[in-house]
């Protein structure tokens, strides 16, 4: 099993009781290959607010462009450019962006 760096341990009575991992990591750990579930809010942002999937997911998960820029090692302006509706970021960029959100590329490409 790969090392998971975004794990949150929840204790009960001073003992570890639960481990919370990003959804994308959970899918990998459980080897699930199902179509990703897209929350209604994300779909609404894409179609009603004319947002790109990247921007819609980021907004839904309450990340700022600055948060993602820091994780990807780029400027906030670069994230703004990637999130434009007509932008077509490379697959490797979308994979990194998805990982920064705790998702899989399938969530962004669905």
Q: Which pTM value belongs to this model?
A: 0.69
d(CA 22, CA 27): 9
Query: Domain map of the chain by residue range?
Result: 1-33, 35-109
DSSP string, 59-85: HHTT--HHHHHHHHTS-HHHHHHHTST
**Mean pLDDT, the chain cut into blocks of 10 residues (110 residues total):** 69 90 78 76 96 96 96 96 95 94 88
Write down the CATH number for the domain with range 35-109: 1.10.260.40
d(CA 16, CA 11): 4
């Amino acid at each position: 099993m790969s090392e998971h760096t975004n794990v949150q341990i929840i204790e009960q009575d001073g003992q570890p009781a639960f481990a919370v991992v990003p959804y994308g990591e959970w899918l990998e750990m459980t080897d699930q290959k199902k179509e990703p579930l897209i929350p209604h809010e994300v779909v609404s942002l894409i179609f009603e607010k004319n947002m790109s999937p990247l921007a819609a997911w980021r907004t839904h998960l309450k990340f700022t462009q600055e948060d993602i820029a820091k994780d990807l090692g780029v400027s906030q302006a670069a994230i703004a450019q990637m999130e434009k509706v007509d932008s077509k970021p490379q697959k490797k960029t979308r994979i990194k962006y998805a990982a920064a959100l705790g998702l899989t590329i399938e969530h962004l490409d669905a």
